[in-house]
Amino acid sequence: MAEPELLDRALYKKVKSMDRAAMEEVFRNMYQTGYETALNEGAAELDTEKLRSDLSKIKGIGESRLNEIMAVIEENLK
């Protein structure tokens, strides 16, 4: 999938003539657009049960250590 052109000739000419406040507004809008895109496309869903199962297969991780690790992970997902 081809990415859309972010800076076409018209926008480039417009940017060249902007003052600091106008340029800041463009950057804020660009950031907000990227932020909303990231939220809409969403971060990958994390299957905590599969994660727990996979972590339990690591040599040296017992049930109590696994419970501690999962508690930390679940706390950070909130």
For residue range 9-59, what is the model confidence (pLDDT) as tens digits?
Answer: 888 888 889 999 999 998 899 899 988 888 887 666 778 899 999 999 999
Nearest alpha carbon to residue 43 among 77, 71, 12: 77
What pTM value is reported for the model?
A: 0.46
CB-CB contact of 78 with 48 (8 Å): no
pLDDT score recorded for residue 43:
62
Q: What pLDDT, on a 0 to 100 scale, did the predictor assign at position 70? A: 93
Report how far residue 31's alpha carbon sits from residue 9's, in angstroms, rounded to the nearest whole number: 20
Angstrom distance (rounded) from CA 21 to CA 76: 37
